[in-house]
Each structure stands twice: as structure tokens, then as C-alpha cells.
Structure 1
Amino acid sequence: MASDADQQIPEQQSTGPAPGQGRRKPRIVIVGGGHVGLTVAMRLQKQLEPGEARITVIDPQSHMTYQPFLPEAAAGSIEPRHIVVPLRQTLRRSEVLTAQVTCIDHGKRELTATLADGTEEHVTFDVLVVVPGSVSKALPIPGLSERGVGFKTIGEAIYLRNHVLSRLDIAASTSDATLRRRLLTFVFIGGGYAGIEAMAELESMSREAVRSYRTLDTGDMRWILIEATGRIMPEVSAPMGEYTRRRLEERGIEVKTDTTAKSLTGGHVVLSDGDEFDADTIAWTAGVKPHPMLEDSDLPRDGRGRVECTPKLQVRGTEDVFAAGDCAAVPDLTSDDADALCSPSAQHAVRQARVLADNVVASLRGHELRDYRHRHAGSVAGLGLFQGAAEVYGIKLKGLPAWLLHRVYHLAKLPTLRLKARILGDWLMELPLSRQTVALGELHDPRAEFVRAANTRGLPSEHGRAG
């Protein structure tokens, strides 16, 4: 494959033997440009000598999204562009290929990538880093694929924001009580961090937006959180989970545990507890699964579809393939259970990325690799403006202190100084100025007005012109 990476990485000028001198530069291919893949690539760029190796990052998107800030971007506290990192702009010493990996053949040291135009390209590697992350784990619930919206991408977050606000606009303009009740019913399925933070931020935004409508009141809205297990927020202790539940219920949010959705057909929600109602907004945040791309590979995987790894983050049975993050089954060396694996959390993923990059460098230089070992420090969650819940090293924080810790922690974890400055600016501007709560529906259908105008004037369609 042609690459400009060699031109971007100047050869080392030295009278002594340079790394890689007299032989072909080894190629490191990173599958996945998310938080883990970006962290690995940035660390490799920093640690590798110029000309020591060639780095290629492959991802369907040309940017990385910092997912912990998706709820705030959806609520309007952060400009959506400020939570994405352009890969090419950040990885100037790496080659970035915008494509979807469809097959990994470790035996041939080759993978197949499908470009945006549909053509396939075969990419060879010397060292492979498999970090494609995860995708939403949908269940075979009738109506879910037609009515449900996930919450893992910037596009989904922006869509939900506009969708929720547009429901308020329509509800304020109709005298149909049944339609209004449907429009103002918002359902989130999944009581983990993703679901609770997304719902809490959007409910907080909607509560603020309703003040601008003379015909609407906060009591007109119905927000429902559905969780299949007996508690919400399993990432924290049971008391902190119960505290979060109480805070949500104090805001009028219905929290239904030990409950599943049986049907969502046509927006008519049928729950296992017998409750039935109509809803125009259904968000699905009930878990994730490893990227399906891994199914077409010859790498060993466990029963949940994750790549089996050693404590050194090498894929089991290989020396030249590494994995980390949501798609990797990594032994938890801090647990007393010999079979324990690291949880699929952002905290583990980013720390694994650093060790993985160090081990790749060590393997290229013939040095000893080190094990990944990290005891879970705790969790922080934002529950809307000025509200939060946190449990860090056994210390429990609630309300404003937890909300501040949530913001400070994630601001520190952002990968570039540029993003840190932009997001800090967004927060400072939010203090004296209220959030803009307006739906921009044309973002999702930009040609609607043009098509309507063209049809009104009787302009020929593409089919008419073709005929």
C-alpha cells in the first residue's frame, strides 16, 4: 500500500548504527482509532526513534470521540466539535487510513480493509495492535431496530439532543393530549453509566428548556429508566447506586429495576412489569459487545467474543499481536480470583494503552515486556448540571463535589491541550450564560427544504430526467 508515512518520518542522521538501519522498517498496524488506539499511536510516536518503525492507524472515522463527554455535548454544555480529536492532525508521524477492517489473517500477517468507495486493500504488518473497541449490544426486541437510538457516537448524541428538543416544540404546538403525552415521554433502556449520564444530562437540559414554553410544564414530561438487573450503576457500591436512584427519583425520573422491554413496536412500549405506554424517544444504552470485525479473524477469543490476552497484553499464542480495551480479555492481576478479567471500563482501557505501547517498543528492541496491573480506583458520574456521584478509593462524594470531580478528572484525561482549552472555555462561558436549547432538525435532513421546494415548483426528479 502506498504511504506518505515514510516521507513524514525523517530518517535518523547518525554516524553510528541507527535503529532499523540496513533492514526494512517494521510496520506497526493499529486497528482502531478510538481512545485506546489514539493513545497507543501518540505514545509510540513519542518513544520510537525517527525511522525506527512505520505506524499505520486504520479506523472508519477520521477522528476519535472522547465518549465520557458525550452526555454534556448532547445537553449543550460542550460544543460537540470540542470532544473529537482529528487523527491526521494529531498523528503527524503516522499514516492514517480511513477504512473498515473486515478480516485479520495472522497466519499471513495480513488484514483486509474496505475503503469508503468500497474497494478492498490488503495491508501487511509486522506488529498488530487490535483495539477496535465495542459496539452497542442490541437484543432481539420487536421494534428496537426501528425506534431505538444508541448513545456511543457524536452523531447519536447530537441527534438525541435535537430530537428531544423538537419533541418539546411539537408538544407545545398541539392541542392533542394523547399526542402530547407520547411526545413528552422519554425512555432510556440500560442503567449503567452511559444510560444514567445521558438521561440525567438530557433531562436537566429539557427542564431548563421547558421554562421557555408557556404551554408546557416540567410535570408534563415523563422520563423512564429501565434496567434489567436489581440495581443501577453496578460500577459503584450498592449504597452509591441507591443514592443515585434517589436523586433521579427526586427529579421525577421513574427508575424501573428488574424490568425489561418486551416490545417497542411503533413506539408502543410494553414492559415486563405490565406497564404499557407510547413514547416518541427510545434510547438504548443497555451494554456493549466487542466489535463484530473480530469474528472474521484467526485470533483466539473467549466466550464473550473478546480477544484472549496475556497479562503483557499480547494476544494469547502470539508474540507480534497486542490488544487492549473493550475488545480484550485481559487478566486482572490485582484480583484474588485467578480467572478474573479487567472490566471493560475507560479507566482500564487508557492505562492498558500505555502499557501496550511500551511493550510494543520493548518487543521491537528485544527488551523484556511488563505485565499490566492496575487496581480499579473508582468511578465518577455526572447527573446533570451541578449534580454527580463519585466513589474513589472508597471515598464517596455526592452532589456538587462529585460533579466537580467528574469534570476535573475527565478534563485531565483528554488527550490534547487544544481540547482541554476549548472545553474549559465552554464551561466558563456556561457560568454567566445559559445553555442554548434549540433543535436544529436540518442537521439530520439537510435536503428536506430543497426537495420540498423543488417538488412544489414541479421540477423534474432524477427519475424524470433519466427518462
Structure 2
Amino acid sequence: MRTILVVGGGYAGFYAAWRLERKLRRDEARVVMVDPRPYMTYQPFLPEVLAGSVEARHAAVSQRRHLKKTKIISGTVVRIDHASRTVTIRPAEGPAYPLRYDVIVVTAGAVTRKLAIPGVADQAIGLKHVEEAVAIRDQLLTAFDRASTLPPGPRRRRLLTVTFVGGGFSGVEGFGELLSLAQSLVRRYPELDPAELSFHLVEARDRILPEVSGKSGRWVVRSLERRGAHVHLGTLVRSAEDGHVVLSTGEEFDSDLIVWTAGNAANPMVHNHTDLPIDDRGMLVVRADLRVGTADAPVPDAWGAGDDAAVPDLAAGDGRTTVPNAQHAVRQGKHLARNLLADLRGRRTEDYVHHSLGTVATLGLGRGIFEWRFVVIKGFPAWLMHRGYHVLAVPSWERKVRVLAIWLAAALFGRDIVSLASVRHPRRAFVTGGDPELTGAVPEPAHAVPEPAHAVPEPAHAVPEPAHAGPEEPADAVPEPAHAGPAGS
């Protein structure tokens, strides 16, 4: 029986495997998925995880719960040798080993683009994974507790200063939601003055949200500034050493929390460790029907989709490739499965074409923006559209019900403002026994702060980067009616 190997369990990989296992005939082929995480992250919910509007586990969709016929390997593909139909897998435990396959589906996804800016690697947190969103939220909540014990001054200002770098959908949505949380939280701390909150959004381009019109983007900037935020357009981060942020405009300030959302980079495994064709950006070369290769030179038994694939955008019709966002990844995963099945059964494949039906973003509790062609909806109605769409779009009725229940509870009782940052030191209470002299003496375990698990550790030379904190790739859009699948950040 043939083996179909799916590399990566994000949007494209998850939906491709889900469709394949439901449509494959008995004994026609078996599906194997390799991914370092046991879940698919529903990224449109990450900004609401930041704000406590969605429980962290509800933004993660279990692979084993839904892919019941797929063999799931917890590990990382570190090399693809398609000439011999073999991959090298580094499992979660034990030595690396080879695995043979007959057909490969490469959906490893992009990674966070990191630039060689002093201090960023040591100070910043990304916003691609659930554990990052939880860490950001816990750090903000802990900062409020610490600031409330300090007198007014530089240390307190630093704790209450938040910096987001990158003005794409992920950055703007996360920024808006965290600002909304902070402004509601400060009312519960009579020791603190709301004027002490300082939120900075830094974007290298002269506008934010490139997926919406310039007029709508300017409205978002004005909306954030009316809420007290500082939006720095056409500005680069020069340094962030020890939390001291230096901007290209000359402005400097100390920030205890720095969130990096300045775009995507090619997956280093795809870029450096495969014999499949890649383009000059390190992306997998893919035809319009999602088969790897070109129109004249297709690669047999190799398919690709999602953020690490350069899929021709036939809807745009100008030679561009589809933007790396959820709306395309979901539909490409489903389309890839249909074409792969057609190819196995000797039928014609069809090209992938998707026409966007608009973009929608949350800007904080009760605030949002929706745009489709010349139709623009702002404020509370757009926020309701965002929530309504995504509660229906998240996979499985179990997740829909859980998320809706959290939203209803929050509407009645408000957000939960408890920080669980102490889970990073699970042995502290046990080791110290409550002795205040020993409280700070327990070393943090190596696994205490979760790190993003990419397909392979990124080598320093993996992807040539521009010398500035550039924009984030488009990451949020409303594709089809809500039952069709998720879109978003």
C-alpha cells in the first residue's frame, strides 16, 4: 500500500490529511503526518488568547482527535531526499531515522522572520504559536503586579511599556487586543495611573495593514492613537538591547515586553535541506495545481501548499503568488487533497483559484474593521463579524461550543485576569517549601519558557534578510462564508 507523507501539521497539512483520510478507499494508500506539535494552531484566535478572550487550549486543534486514520509522528523532518523517496526524521525522543514514502506533501509552513538587530533575539517574543501568546499575556499581567509595588519612576514605566514590531494583521490585531486588556486591567490597580501605560507599534512602511485600502489603514492608525497608542510609521528598530528600544527616528524608551511580528521567512528545511526545486526566496516551486515543479517540468509524486510554497495566484492574474495566510492555506490543503486523489486515480487535476471576499480584523474588545471592495464596516459591527466568522470557522463543533461558551462567560463576568507565569517554575514551591530566603534561588528549568518548534533549527545563513524590520506578510482575510473554513491572522 502506498504511503502519503505529509510534512507539517499546520493549516494546509492538517486539512490535506483530514480530506485524504476521509476520501481514500480502503487499502488505496495510508497517510503519515510528521509534526513537532500535537496540534494545529488556529492562528486567528491568538490575539484573543493574548487578551484572555479565548482559552489557550481552545486555539489549538488536536491532530490525534481529528485525524483518526492518519499515523502521526511526533518529530521533525530535517531532510527530504525525493530522488530516493526518503525523509530523515528527528523524533521527539531517540535518534534520527529515515522513512520511505511514495508521495510527499510538503506543508512545513513559514517561520518568523528574525533580523540581525541587537537585542531582539534575547528580548522579543514572536506571535505564531499558542505558547507565545500565553507567555505575552502572562508577562503583561505579571508586569502590572510588579509595577503596583513600585513608586512612580523609570522602572515602573518600563514595566508598563509594550512594543510591537510589525504592522501586518498579526501585529495590529495582537496590539489592539493587548491594549484593550491593559486599559481594562489598569482600572483594577488603584496604585497605577492609566497615563503610565505606553503602547508602541513600530512599522517600517508608511502604512499598516497593507491588505486594506490606504483610507482604512489610516482610520485604524487614528483609532489606535485615540486610545493612547503610539504608532511609528516609516520607522525601523535599530536596537533592543536589555529592553532599551532605539528607533530610526532617534526616539528611545525602555520596554519590558517586546513582541516581534515583522513577517515570515522561508522554512529553513525547505530552503536548505531538500532536493525539491525552490525559488530565490527559498520557497517551494509549485504549479497552479499544487504539484511541485513548473508547467514544463513537474516533479512526480511531490505536492506542496501553504506558507512555504510559491503558489501562482491565478485570481490576481499578474504573475504574483498567493499571500501566505490562513484563507489560502486552508483552501490549498483541501484542493491539494482533491488533486492528489485525482492523480492517484488517473483523473485530471484542477488549478487552484480563490477570489478573496474581503478582509476583517479585530482591534480590541468591541472594535474591528471589515473591508470588501468599496464596502467598509468599522467598530462594533465589524468586531461582531470577526467573532461570528471565526467561531464558525474553527474546526470541529467541540471547539466552536467551547469558544462560544468562553465568550458568553466573559460577557457576563468579564475577562479572566489571572497570570499563570508561575508554571514556568513548577518545582519552585516544592523546593523552597515556602521559605522566602530560597524563593529566588531555584534555577529555571531549560524547558520552562516554551520555544517555537519549527521544522528544523534555523541556521544563521538560512534566508537572506533585508536590513530593516520589514512588514509582515498578509495574514488575515475573510474568504468564503463562515462554514467554508478559517481565515485570519
8 Å CA contact 1:378, 1:394 repeated in 2: no
8 Å CA contact 1:159, 1:444 repeated in 2: no
Q: How does 1:209-358 map to 2 (within 5 A)?
A: 209-294=185-270, 295-316=272-293, 317-337=298-318, 339-358=319-338
After TM superposition, what 4+ stretches of structure 1 lie above 6 angstroms from structure 2?
A: none
| CA offsets 1:317-353 (integer angstroms, 9 cap, x no match) | 312111111101011112231x211111111111111
8 Å CA contact 2:360, 2:386 repeated in 1: yes
Could you tell me which amino acid in structure 2 is paired with residue 170 of structure 1?
A: R
8 Å CA contact 1:39, 1:415 repeated in 2: no
Name the residue aligned to 1:182: 158
8 Å CA contact 1:171, 1:180 repeated in 2: yes
| CA offsets 1:220-243 (integer angstroms, 9 cap, x no match) | 100000000110011111111111
Name the residue aligned to 1:162: 138
Instruction: Identify which of 342, 345, 349 aligns with 1:365.
Output: 345
Aligned residues between the structures: 436
C-alpha distance in 2 between matches for 1:180 and 1:444:
23
C-alpha distance in 2 between matches for 1:97 and 1:407:
33
Q: CA 1:300–1:457 in 2, change beyond 3 Å: closer, same or farther?
A: closer
Deviation at 1:457, TM superposition (A): 8.0
C-alpha distance in 2 between matches for 1:291 and 1:452:
42
Name whichever of 288-297 and 227-236 sits farther off: 288-297
Instruction: Look up the SS of the partner of 2:17 in the other structure.
Output: helix
Runs of 5+ consecutive residues of structure 2 not aligned to the other structure:
444-489
Instruction: Look up the SS of the partner of 1:29 in the other structure.
Output: strand
Name the residue aligned to 1:148: 124
Could you tell me which amino acid in structure 2 is paired with residue 214 of structure 1?
A: P
| CA offsets 1:81-134 (integer angstroms, 9 cap, x no match) | 111111111111110000000000010001011011241121111111000111
- Say whether 1:133 aligns with 2:114: no
Q: How does 1:63-78 map to 2 (within 5 A)?
A: 63-78=39-54
Instruction: Look up the SS of the partner of 2:150 in the other structure.
Output: coil
Could you tell me which amino acid in structure 2 is paired with residue 132 of structure 1?
A: A
C-alpha distance in 1 between matches for 2:381 and 2:244:
39
C-alpha distance in 1 between matches for 2:267 and 2:433:
42
C-alpha distance in 1 between matches for 2:2 and 2:164:
47
The TM-score, its normalising length taken from structure 2, stands at 0.87
Could you tell me which amino acid in structure 1 is paired with residue 2 of structure 2?
A: P
Deviation at 1:51, TM superposition (A): 2.1
Q: CA 1:212–1:300 in 2, change beyond 3 Å: closer, same or farther?
A: same
C-alpha distance in 2 between matches for 1:256 and 1:330:
33
8 Å CA contact 2:88, 2:98 repeated in 1: yes
Could you tell me which amino acid in structure 2 is paired with residue 311 of structure 1?
A: A
Larger Rg: 1
Could you tell me which amino acid in structure 1 is paired with residue 181 of structure 2?
A: M
- Say whether 1:200 aligns with 2:176: yes
Name the residue aligned to 1:5: none
Name the residue aligned to 1:441: 421
Name the residue aligned to 1:30: 6
Could you tell me which amino acid in structure 2 is paired with residue 430 of structure 1?
A: A
8 Å CA contact 2:11, 2:306 repeated in 1: no
C-alpha distance in 2 between matches for 1:269 and 1:63:
35
C-alpha distance in 2 between matches for 1:229 and 1:457:
49
Q: How does 1:103-118 map to 2 (within 5 A)?
A: 103-118=79-94
Deviation at 1:302, TM superposition (A): 1.1
Runs of 5+ consecutive residues of structure 1 not aligned to the other structure:
1-24, 463-467
Higher relative contact order (CA 8 A, sep 6+): 2
Q: How big is the alpha-carbon RMSD for the aligned residues of Structure 1 and Structure 2?
A: 1.8
Q: CA 1:130–1:249 in 2, change beyond 3 Å: closer, same or farther?
A: same
Identity over aligned pairs, percent: 42
